[in-house]
Amino acid sequence: MFKNNLHHIYAWLLLSPALILMGTFTHIPSILTLISSFFSTGTKKFPSKFVGIENYEMIFDDPIFLEAVINNIWYAIATIVPSIILAILMALIVDSKLSGRVLVRMAYFTPTILPMIAVSNIWLFFYTPEIGLMDQIATNLGFNSQNWLGDKDTVLNCIILITIWKEAGFFMIFYLAALQNIPPELKEAAFLEGSSKFYFFRRITFPLLMPITLFVLINATLNSFKLVDHLFILTKGGPDNASNLILYYIYETAFSFLDSSYAATLTIFLLFALAIISIVQFMFFDKRTHYR
Amino acid sequence: MFCYIKRLKKIIVSTLGVLLFFTTQLFGIELNMYYPVAVGGSLTKIVDGMVDEFEKKNPDVKVNAIYAGNYNDARIKALAALKSGKPAQLSVMFSIDIYELIEQDAIVPFDDLVSTYEDKAWLYSFYPTLMQNGVTDGKVWGIPFQRSTIVMYYNKDMFRKAGLNPNKPPKDWDELVSYGKKIVDSTSSWGVMIPSTGYPYWMFGALTMQNDQVLMNGDGNKTYFDHPSVVGALQYWHDLGNKHKVMPSGTIEWGTLRKNFLEGKTAMMWHSTGNLTTVKKNAKFDFGVAMLPASKRRGTPTGGGNFYIFKNTSAAEKKASLRLIKFMTSPEQAAHWSKSTGYMGVSPASYQTSSLTNYVKTFPPALVARDQLKFATAELSTFQTGRVRKLLDDAIQSVLTGNNSPSSALKKAQMSADKLLKRYR
């Protein structure tokens, strides 16, 4: 009996650092957010009061939020797929016997270690019409000058490009580690059997990379809802919300409109959406993933 | 050896302790002040210099001047500090934050802090136009400090190249278009650029005032976005890019515009006077500064930051804050500030100081902002100001990118603004 109790205490003590940290910075704030989403934002004139699901009804009457959601879905798809493909390609390149591959690895990884805000300031000037890098290349090739960030049709794709550039190198590291874990005997055996390089990749390398792909996929999905730093510098969600994303809109609601309750409501909405996406991804891919 | 290090540690710790004790004794009051920088350049050094001088003259007060990003960041940081219970005592924040700050119950009116006749007179020593954004409910809540108007910077060399008189900048909207066309025809540059990201509503405030219509009432609870003159102003802005082709179409980035001008990609730009000193330092061509052109009249909104004192501070801290603000806005300091940044001297007295009179003699463009003040109006500021401003910003951008017509975009913005402001009437 006594020994059993001691085991319990021991277990809780071991768990406590993580529990305290997660509690303080994740779980308690989440619960507080949930609670405040049922109240109105208090000001001097209009004190905070219980409003039930009124804030949630507002979501469906908010065209800007709808636009942000649609933008975000496109942003997610258009960043995740290319950055994963790029990451695999880059990993394959720097995993092969290439002269100077340390340099190439470093070059691929550099965007990841740069702070997003600094990077955005650089890209802001890349995209500037007339004097920017993009425009100078385009006009030298005989194309017309293009207002990259000032046009509703191009702005979101410009943002997406930066995100891919920033993320692919990060995911490459995971793939590189996974590639180096694949036993070389498999390769030797496959080539003895006369399989082509592409066939080997399709039937052996890629399936063995699946656990990493699942991991990267979930991370990339979360990132596509989390990564909005560059919007602050580049577009502030404009022009006319064409590059507005959910998290940026939440930030604006909380800190520019000072409406913390509605921001809390939007946060809860995002939280549930992300939870559902993650669960679906796990359930769907778990069956198709071979863990060793 | 180990023992020696231990002893050394002890000595260091105790010295630090004693030092800390003495510094708190020496500086009776410690003030935290947030301030924003919106146009870049070396403004932080200038503020630090002014604060140092204040500390030299007031050894009992220690001021921590904290650079807090742009206007938005400064407000967020100040309000966050307020909620955390360790607030700043005073702050330079956006002049148009006044209604939000009152709604958050964050600031005190200066009328409650001044008692002597001299102090009361000081409250009225500033340009009245600059006070418009700082007064509501019959009380003064903000003291002008880093204040600007919009002016037109133009490239005289390019004017000469296009056969225009470099000393005659366009005085009305028609001339702006015809001059712009001449420049586009004879050079490879654009005629004019008006920035439409960051603060589109601010630039728009100039166009509407030129069309003789303000954007909101003095109580901050009604907007006039769908007034025909406002619609006309947006139509003109749209036409500059899409019909007359003297400006790029789409939105124009606030942050890179100065670079565009300095690189000679546009002959004219509308920008804050806060850029003046930086442009002066970096322009490799002959440039001029002019008042904005007129439609029915000349016009510009004022802009920039005011001093606010926070409510949640002790009486002694409020007094010290008032002393600091009085120092920072005194004619000599205002003159120094204006000279080193391009922001305007906030009081008529600052333009009578010898340092500023001498400066404007050698550099007349520094006077344009002041002379334009008599045509100026308050910057857009209402209750729910963040949301209302965004409504107008979105409307402007949707028109400039060619996705909506001025009348329907502004009507929509007005309807939504009415919905937000109804309960404040």
The mean pLDDT of chain A is 89
In degrees, rounded to 5, the angle at the alpha carbon of residue B76 between the alpha carbons of residues B74 and B82 is 105
The contact set of B with A (CB < 8 A) is 72, 76, 79, 100, 102-105, 190, 196-198, 248-253, 255-256, 259-260, 263, 265, 384, 386-387, 390, 393-394, 397-398, 400-401, 403, 423-424
Q: How far is CA B390 from the centre of its chain?
A: 18
Q: Using CB atoms, which residue from A45, A131, A257 is nearest to B259?
A: A131
Q: Please answer whether residues A289 and A211 qualify as being in contact, where contact means their C-beta atoms are separated by less than 8 angstroms.
A: yes
* Distance of alpha carbon B306 from alpha carbon B96, whole angstroms: 9
Q: Using CB atoms, which residue from B252, B393, B398 is nearest to A150?
A: B252
CB contact under 8 A, A44 and B104: yes
Are B64 and B169 contained in the same domain? no
Are B220 and B242 contained in the same domain? yes
Tally C-beta pairs within 8 A across A and B: 92
Are B59 and B130 contained in the same domain? yes
Give A64's contacts in chain B (Cβ within 8 Å): 394
Q: pLDDT tens for chain B, 425 residues: list them.
A: 455 556 666 666 555 555 555 555 455 889 999 998 876 567 888 899 999 999 999 999 999 998 888 888 888 888 888 878 777 899 999 999 999 898 888 899 999 998 889 888 899 899 999 999 999 888 999 999 999 899 999 999 999 999 999 999 999 999 999 999 999 999 989 999 999 998 999 999 999 999 999 999 988 899 999 999 999 999 999 999 999 999 998 999 988 899 999 999 999 999 998 888 889 999 999 999 999 999 999 999 999 999 999 988 899 999 999 999 999 999 999 999 998 888 889 999 999 999 999 998 998 888 898 899 999 999 999 999 989 999 999 999 999 999 999 999 999 999 999 999 998 88
Are B36 and B132 contained in the same domain? yes
Put simply, the chain A residues between 28 and 67 with a CB less than 8 A from any chain B CB are: 43-46, 64
Take residue B231 and report the two structure tokens written for it: 């619609």
* CB neighbour class for B185 (10 Å; exposed up to 12, middle 13-18, buried from 19): exposed
Q: Does A258 touch chain B (CB under 8 A)?
A: yes
A144-189 pLDDT per residue, tens? 888 889 888 999 999 999 999 999 999 999 999 999 888 888 888 8
CA distance to partner chain B, nearest, from residue A221 (Å): 28
What is the b/e burial string over B240-271, where b = at least 16 CB atoms within 10 angstroms of the residue's CB? bbeebbbbbbbbbbbbbbbbbbbebbbbbbbb
Are B164 and B136 contained in the same domain? no
What is the b/e burial string over B162-182, where b = at least 16 CB atoms within 10 angstroms of the residue's CB? bebebeebbeebeebbebbeb
CB contact under 8 A, A151 and B401: yes
This prediction's pTM: 0.85
Those residues whose C-beta lies under 8 Å from the C-beta of residue B265, and which sit 6 or more positions away, are: A130, A131, B189, B190
Q: Please answer whether residues A251 and A267 qualify as being in contact, where contact means their C-beta atoms are separated by less than 8 angstroms.
A: no
User: What CATH number is attached to the domain comprising B269?
Assistant: 3.40.190.10
* Distance of alpha carbon B317 from alpha carbon B315, whole angstroms: 5
Which residues, in sequence order, are bridge partners of residue B290?
B152
- Looking at residue B26, its pLDDT comes to 53
Are B363 and B385 contained in the same domain? no
Residue that wins the pLDDT comparison between A287 and A163 = A163
* CB neighbour class for B366 (10 Å; exposed up to 12, middle 13-18, buried from 19): buried
Q: Using CB atoms, which residue from A129, A145, A238 is nearest to B397?
A: A238
Q: Give chain B's radius of gyration (CA, Å).
A: 24
* Distance of alpha carbon A119 from alpha carbon A136, whole angstroms: 19
Are B363 and B384 contained in the same domain? no
Put simply, the chain A residues between 216 and 245 with a CB less than 8 A from any chain B CB are: 233, 235-236, 238-242
CB contact under 8 A, A256 and B390: yes
Take residue A107 and report the two structure tokens written for it: 């070059």
H or E stretch covering B403: none
* CB neighbour class for A283 (10 Å; exposed up to 12, middle 13-18, buried from 19): exposed
Which structural domain range is residue B139 located in? 2-147+304-370
**Maximum pairwise Cα distance, chain B:** 85
Give B104's contacts in chain A (Cβ within 8 Å): 43-44, 258
Q: Does A182 touch chain B (CB under 8 A)?
A: no
* Distance of alpha carbon B392 from alpha carbon B395, whole angstroms: 5
Neighbours of B44 (CB within 10 A): 12
What is the residue extent of each domain of chain A? 61-286
Are B34 and B115 contained in the same domain? yes
CA distance to partner chain A, nearest, from residue B116 (Å): 30
Are B26 and B38 contained in the same domain? yes
Length of chain A in terms of residues written: 292
- Looking at residue B1, its pLDDT comes to 46
Give A46's contacts in chain B (Cβ within 8 Å): 423
Are B77 and B222 contained in the same domain? no
- Looking at residue A49, its pLDDT comes to 87
In degrees, rounded to 5, the angle at the alpha carbon of residue B375 between the alpha carbons of residues B370 and B380 is 100
What domain count does chain B have?
Answer: 2
Give A242's contacts in chain B (Cβ within 8 Å): 401
The torsion defined by the Cα of B39, B45, B49 and B55, in degrees rounded to 10, comes to 100
In degrees, rounded to 5, the angle at the alpha carbon of residue B400 between the alpha carbons of residues B399 and B404 is 20
Give A151's contacts in chain B (Cβ within 8 Å): 250-251, 401
Three-state SS letters, chain A: CHHHHHHHHHHHHHHHHHHHHHHHHHHHHHHHHHHHCCECCCCCCCCCCECCCHHHHHHCCCHHHHHHHHHHHHHHHHHHHHHHHHHHHHHHHHHCCCCCHHHHHHHHHHHHHCCHHHHHHHHHHHHCCCCCHHHHHHHHCCCCCCCHHHCCCCHHHHHHHHHHHHHHHHHHHHHHHHHHHCCHHHHHHHHHCCCCHHHHHHHHHHHHCHHHHHHHHHHHHHHHHHCCHHHHHHCCCCCCCCCCCHHHHHHHHHHHCCCHHHHHHHHHHHHHHHHHHHHHHHHHHHCCCCCC
CB contact under 8 A, B384 and A239: no
Take residue A292 and report the two structure tokens written for it: 């060793």
Tell me the backbone φ, ψ of residue B213, rounded to 5 degrees.
Answer: -145, 130
Q: Does A150 touch chain B (CB under 8 A)?
A: yes
Are B23 and B112 contained in the same domain? yes
Put simply, the chain A residues between 83 and 102 with a CB less than 8 A from any chain B CB are: none
A233-280 pLDDT per residue, tens? 899 987 999 999 999 999 999 988 888 899 999 999 999 999 998 888
CB contact under 8 A, B250 and A44: no
The proportion of chain A whose per-residue pLDDT surpasses 90, expressed as a percent, equals 47
Reading phi first (left if > 0) and then psi (alpha if -120 to 50, else beta), residue A240 is in left
Q: Please answer whether residues A174 and A215 qualify as being in contact, where contact means their C-beta atoms are separated by less than 8 angstroms.
A: yes
Angstrom CA distances, B347 to A276, B91, B125, B133, B350, stand at 59, 20, 6, 15, 5
Instruction: Looking at the structure, give the CATH architecture of the domain made up of residues A61-286.
Output: Orthogonal Bundle (1.10)
DSSP designation for B107: B
Are B405 and B354 contained in the same domain? no
* Distance of alpha carbon B163 from alpha carbon B183, whole angstroms: 9
- Angle, in degrees to the nearest 10, between helices B354-362 and B331-341: 20
